[in-house]
């Protein structure tokens, strides 16, 4: 864990305390749940799933529950957040607006205090800027800075202005007073689509901008930055980051690119439902062919899953049912969460296999191997050899079911021919 970093969202810190009248009797968690039409059972299911999403053992579910309950009982003392928008399409905020467990209003009204957001503020113009000024004055050194969008460096940043100020000016004024920063989306993490060649605006990510313009905290220390890449970033990754800190009072463990390992610690390829076909050599050769229609691996169509770290296959998108993520609906992974891949590599260029190397010749799909080994057992052996032991049982069952379906179809076709 990054224990040397300061707590990110500790509602007990005096700098986070809010003024104003305090309710004589704060609502209990059960009362909050009833108020929002959420059953206790559904809430327990949410706590269990979010604990798993954060990479924590199931035994810590009670701690997650306690952290949320404590936050609910804290009443108005919610961690303040200032959310800035630079060069971006607002897709990450739009994704957050569609979250359902909890909803965006549950996040910004119950768990955090969203003091400023150019997209979600009810105020406008001078009133909006006054809200920003008031939060900065009130929460010096105690708020979290969230940045969505890249920072333009060309033409002194004049490609992007809010209230007459460039991103550079806003970062100089705001970032030194934050306790930590979250770069949400690939644009804020490392430039995103704006940074693709020829990059006319000179777009870069938040961390690079802080380094370039030598922006530090007021005490001269580096401002901790958490990158949550994706196009858009999953709303549950930012929610999990917040809850992780509320539970453990520290930042989650980060990888070399400052991404939380609980969300970006494994390759998409490792958890993809099409992985069994990769190991068996079943590939879609072009969009719409038989392999594509049967759900075979999209590697040859340019899927970047083998070189992209993200939890997309696990959490999916949109909360509208299973397989709601690009590969699930038949499109190759674009690699949007990986620096130097999304927006930089051609769409149909085959990915670099980070964890394993594909053999040049795959076994035939219906071939029986020496010693009586079937395709199913060979695929499982390949999965184990590739370091994906946790996936092996799933691969076995999927391939076995597919072989049985093919055998049944062949038998029916043969019977039809005989009858004719």
**Would the pLDDT of 174 be above 90?**
yes
Predicted confidence at residue 16, as pLDDT, reads 32
| Per-residue pLDDT, 125 | 86
| Residue entry with tokens 């069952």 | 397
Q: Which residue shows structure tokens 């030598």? A: 214
Asked if residue 136 lies in contact with residue 148, where contact means CB atoms within 8 angstroms, the answer is no
Residue 1 has pLDDT above 60, yes or no: no
β-bridge mates for residue 264, sequence order: none
Q: CA quadruple 365, 371, 372, 376: dihedral positive or negative?
A: negative
Does residue 3 register a pLDDT over 50? no
Q: What percent of the chain has pLDDT over 70?
A: 66
60-69, 290-299, 377-386: which has the highest mean pLDDT?
Answer: 290-299
Query: What is the C-alpha separation between 258 and 266, in angstroms, rounded?
Result: 14
Q: What is the pLDDT of residues 80-126, one digit of tens each?
A: 889 999 999 988 888 888 777 667 777 776 677 888 888 888 888 88
**383 near 389, Cβ under 8 Å?**
yes
Q: What is the pLDDT of residue 97?
A: 82
CA distance 21 to 355: 56
H or E stretch including 226?
Answer: strand 225-228
* CA-derived radius of gyration, the chain: 25
DSSP states along 182-220: EEESHHHHH-GGGGSTT-TT-EE-HHHHHHHTT---TTS
CA distances from 227 to 149, 257, 350 (A): 12, 7, 26
Taking 90 as the threshold, does the pLDDT of residue 51 lie above it? no
Q: Measure the N-to-C terminal CA separation of the chain; round to a whole number of Å.
A: 69
What average pLDDT score do residues 317-346 get?
Answer: 87
pLDDT score, position 70? 64
- Given this model, what pLDDT does residue 58 score? 65
Which DSSP string do the residues of 105-151 spell out, in sequence order? HHIIIII-EEEEETTT-S--THHHHHHHHHHHHHTTT-EEEEEESBE
> Mean pLDDT lowest for which of 9-23, 101-115, 258-272?
9-23
Angle at 397 between CA 391 and CA 402, to 5 degrees: 120
- Say what the pLDDT of residue 390 is: 34
Q: How far is CA 115 from CA 82, 151, 309, 393, in A?
A: 6, 22, 32, 48
The rounded distance, in Å, linking the Cα atoms of 116 and 123 is 10
Residue 67's SS3 state is helix
For residue 244, is pLDDT > 90? Answer: no
122-149 pLDDT per residue, tens: 888 888 889 889 888 888 888 889 999 9
**What pLDDT was estimated at residue 114?**
83
% of the chain surpassing 90 pLDDT: 34
pLDDT band at 362 (very low <50, low <70, confident <90, very high): very low
151 CB-contact burial (10 Å; exposed 0-12 / middle 13-18 / buried 19+):
buried
- Cβ contact 115:80 at 8 Å: yes
Does residue 351 register a pLDDT over 70? yes
Q: pTM here?
A: 0.70
Fill in the DSSP letter of residue 309: B
pLDDT band at 353 (very low <50, low <70, confident <90, very high): confident
The pLDDT of residue 14 is: 33
Of the candidates 134, 133, 129, the one whose C-alpha atom is nearest the C-alpha of residue 118 is 129
For residue 314, the model assigns a pLDDT of: 84
Q: Does the structure show a pLDDT above 90 at 205?
A: yes
Higher pLDDT, 311 or 318: 311
Of 2-6, 245-249, 369-373, which gets the smallest average pLDDT?
Answer: 369-373
Residues 277-310 pLDDT 10s = 998 889 999 999 999 999 999 999 999 999 999 9
pLDDT band at 366 (very low <50, low <70, confident <90, very high): very low
Q: Which helix (H) or strand (E) holds 42?
A: helix 40-53
pLDDT number for residue 95? 83
Tell me how long the chain is.
420
Domains defined along the chain, listed by start: 14-262 (3.40.50.700), 268-419 (4.10.480.10)
DSSP state of 56: -
């Amino acid at each position: 864990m990054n224990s040397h970093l300061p707590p990110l969202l500790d509602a007990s810190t005096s700098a986070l305390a809010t003024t104003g009248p305090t309710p004589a009797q704060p609502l209990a968690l059960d009362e909050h749940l009833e108020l929002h039409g959420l059953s206790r059972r559904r809430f327990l299911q949410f706590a269990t799933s979010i604990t798993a999403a954060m990479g924590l053992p199931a035994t810590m579910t009670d701690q997650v529950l306690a952290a949320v309950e404590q936050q609910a009982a804290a009443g108005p003392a919610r961690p303040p957040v200032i959310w800035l928008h630079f060069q971006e399409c607002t897709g990450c905020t739009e994704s957050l607006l569609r979250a359902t467990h909890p909803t965006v209003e549950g996040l910004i009204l119950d768990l955090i205090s969203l003091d400023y957001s150019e997209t979600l503020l009810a105020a406008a113009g001078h009133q909006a800027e006054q809200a920003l000024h008031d939060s900065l004055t009130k929460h010096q050194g105690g708020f979290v800075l969230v940045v969505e969008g890249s920072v333009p460096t060309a033409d002194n940043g004049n490609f992007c202005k809010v209230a007459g100020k460039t991103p550079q000016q806003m970062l100089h004024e705001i970032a030194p007073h934050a306790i930590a920063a979250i770069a949400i989306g690939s644009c804020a993490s490392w430039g995103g689509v704006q940074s693709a060649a020829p990059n006319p605006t000179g777009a870069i990510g938040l961390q690079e901008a802080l380094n370039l313009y030598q922006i530090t905290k007021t005490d001269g220390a580096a401002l901790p930055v958490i990158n949550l890449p994706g196009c858009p970033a999953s709303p549950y990754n930012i929610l999990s980051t917040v809850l992780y800190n509320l539970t453990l009072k520290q930042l989650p463990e980060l990888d070399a690119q400052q991404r939380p390992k609980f969300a970006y610690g494994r390759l998409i390829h490792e958890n993809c439902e099409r992985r069994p076909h990769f190991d068996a050599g079943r590939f879609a050769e072009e969009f719409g062919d038989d392999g594509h229609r049967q759900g075979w691996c999209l590697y040859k169509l340019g899927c970047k899953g083998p070189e992209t770290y993200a939890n997309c296959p696990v959490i999916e998108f949109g909360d509208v049912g299973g397989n709601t993520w690009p590969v699930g609906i038949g499109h190759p992974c674009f690699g949007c969460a990986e620096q130097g891949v999304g927006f930089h590599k051609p769409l149909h260029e085959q990915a670099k296999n980070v964890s394993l190397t594909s053999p040049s010749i795959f076994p035939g799909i219906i071939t029986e191997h020496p010693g009586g080994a079937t395709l199913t057992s060979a695929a499982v052996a390949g999965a184990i050899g590739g370091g994906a032991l946790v996936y092996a049982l799933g691969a076995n069952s999927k391939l076995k079911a597919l072989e049985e379906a093919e055998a049944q179809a062949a038998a029916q076709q043969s019977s039809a021919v005989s009858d004719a």
